[in-house]
Amino acid sequence: MQTQLTFSILFWIKKNRIKNGKAPINARVTVNGNRIELSTHREASVLDWDARSQTVRGKSNESKMINFDLAFIKTKILSCRSRLEARNEIVTIESIKRSTLELLKGRGC
């Protein structure tokens, strides 16, 4: 019997950490109702953040780079999930966290 896997990735800004009009961007990964929050080490202007699209509005180089970085992080998280599934490992929040943190530190998935 195969179990249903629910999986989502959400980017959001921590409004309680606003400094000079900017707030840090975090990623929230949810697997079967369990979640972890990861820092992206990026900041965005609170006024430019689009919560619906989870991107920074604007055409400045800074906005483009932040959006590129967020897309890259999302791709890496999804890659970790795919690799775990390909190895027939159970995808849990702990395995995603371990794999993602290793990947973001440059040690692979």
For 18, residues 6+ apart whose C-beta sits below 8 A from its C-beta are 46
Give pTM, 2 decimals.
0.84
Choose the weakest-confidence range: 30-34, 44-48, 96-100: 96-100
Element (H, E) at 56: strand 55-56
Domain extents for the chain? 7-104
Interval 80-93 mean pLDDT:
89
Res 3: pLDDT: 62
80 token code pair: 């970790």
pLDDT beyond 50 at 1: no
Interval 11-24 mean pLDDT:
94
pLDDT beyond 90 at 5: no
- Judge whether 27 and 17 are in contact, CB under 8 Å: no
